[in-house]
């Protein structure tokens, strides 16, 4: 699976192997601000004149909108890749980064906080419970916590929303919207498993980022892409160039990722 991104940029993977992003735009963000260098999408209303001469104004449907929370668990590259893809697809993203997520990002990648925030249309600090996404009246299409620490998992499970990440997930559950929790821990205790089961029953999708080896990945980058593609599937976002399983009888060299296999 090859994904061309439109934003960030550097060698990512100081301790995890070679990961490369191409420079495609200049990011202009203020670290910690509520808005990044890209304003949330705004589509103007359309006014038409009816046959009787009256004017009627139609509001167009809002663009797709996803809330992304990054916690301090390992696996921040999944969040980066997801933000890059959604930015390329024109999906409006609202990003929350916890204090420990920033520490993990610094350790696992060479990207700055400003570059990470620059991938989203709007960003928030984890302690800002006055943010629009803390309310159920703010319309969006779901919340992804990637990676999701066991602390955040427990907080969402019991409704103890002392930060914006857990609050956004809690609100999404009560509003009946999608919640995807990319849980990162191993091995798992009884407590972890019980929390996951309770949240699954409450409507959340539990997604351990387990790589698929039927794609015969050649690099860590390909493994990340495959996992992120499946995460996006869970959110109803389907990539045309995603390498999907086509059956044992298909020759790997004849597969067209995401498309119809060539006839032998």
Q: Which residues fall in the annotated binding site? A: 72-74, 98, 149-152, 184, 214, 230
Q: How many CB atoms lie within 10 A of CB 120?
A: 27
Could you give the CA distance from residue 259 to residue 1 in angstroms, rounded to a whole number? Answer: 12
Q: Do residues 61 and 92 lie in contact, with contact meaning Cβ atoms separated by under 8 Å?
A: no
Residues 6+ apart with CB under 8 A from 104: 72, 73, 74, 76
Helix (H) or strand (E) holding 93: strand 92-97
Q: How many residues does the chain have?
A: 264
Q: Do residues 224 and 78 lie in contact, with contact meaning Cβ atoms separated by under 8 Å?
A: yes
* Alpha carbon separation from 196 to 47, 95, 186, 217 (Å, rounded): 48, 23, 13, 29
Binding site per annotation, positions for FMN: 72-74, 98, 149-152, 184
Binding site per annotation, positions for dimethylallyl phosphate: 214, 230
Q: Do residues 84 and 7 lie in contact, with contact meaning Cβ atoms separated by under 8 Å?
A: yes
């Amino acid at each position: 699976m090859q994904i061309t991104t439109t934003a960030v940029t550097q060698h990512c993977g100081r301790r995890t192997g070679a990961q490369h992003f191409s420079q495609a735009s200049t990011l202009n963000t203020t670290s910690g601000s509520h808005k990044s260098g890209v304003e949330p999408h705004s589509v103007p209303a359309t006014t038409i004149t009816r046959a009787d001469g009256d004017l009627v104004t139609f509001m167009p449907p809002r663009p797709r909108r996803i809330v992304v929370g990054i916690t301090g668990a390992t696996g921040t590259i999944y969040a980066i890749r997801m933000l890059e893809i959604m930015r390329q697809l024109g999906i409006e993203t609202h990003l929350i980064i916890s204090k420990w997520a920033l520490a993990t990002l610094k350790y696992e990648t060479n990207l700055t906080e400003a570059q990470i925030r620059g991938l989203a249309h709007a960003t928030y600090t984890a302690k800002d419970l006055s943010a629009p996404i803390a309310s159920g009246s703010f319309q969006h299409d779901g919340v992804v916590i990637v990676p999701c620490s066991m602390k955040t998992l427990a907080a969402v499970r019991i409704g103890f929303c002392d930060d914006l990440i857990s609050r956004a997930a809690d609100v999404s559950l009560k509003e009946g919207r999608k919640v995807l929790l990319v849980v990162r821990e191993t091995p798992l205790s009884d407590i972890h498993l019980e929390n996951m089961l309770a949240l699954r029953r409450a409507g959340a999708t539990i997604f351990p980022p387990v790589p698929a080896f039927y794609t015969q990945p050649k690099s860590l980058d390909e493994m990340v892409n495959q996992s992120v593609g499946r995460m996006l599937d869970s959110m109803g976002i389907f990539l045309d160039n995603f390498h999907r399983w086509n059956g044992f009888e298909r020759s790997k060299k004849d597969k067209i990722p995401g498309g119809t296999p060539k006839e032998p």
